[in-house]
Amino acid sequence: MDVERLLHRHGVDLARLDPAPHVPTWQEMRDHLALLTGCAVCGDTCLSAWIVDTESGPRWVGLCQIHTPGVLSELVAPAVLGKTGAVHG
């Protein structure tokens, strides 16, 4: 499942997510993961940081140990920093 579908499935309000750069560097991804206070879905400690495109521009998404694996199973190695970039803590 991609990040956008996961967020939609759980009714996450994309407007409440922090704005993100269009093309983040690995350093920006790592730094922002350290700042995330909780999983966008359930509030648990974040394991991964993602960028999603919204109508209001790109937004940061943090996902926990429970919600990250479903998203990772959809990734192909070259797509890791494509539309939905990710870095893992």
Domain limits, the chain: 3-88
Q: How far apart are CA 54 and CA 26, in angstroms?
A: 21
Mind listing the pLDDT tens digit of every residue in the chain (89 residues)?
688 888 889 999 998 898 998 888 888 888 888 887 789 999 998 888 888 888 889 999 988 888 887 676 655 444 444 444 555 54
Do residues 29 and 49 lie in contact, with contact meaning Cβ atoms separated by under 8 Å? yes
Cα-based torsion angle of the residue sequence 23, 76, 86, 74 in order, rounded to the nearest 10 degrees: 120
Report the predicted TM-score, pTM, of the whole model to 2 decimal places: 0.72
What lies within 8 Å, CB to CB, of 47 at 6+ separation is 63, 64, 65, 68, 88, 89
Whole-angstrom distance between the N-terminal and C-terminal Cα of the chain?
Answer: 20
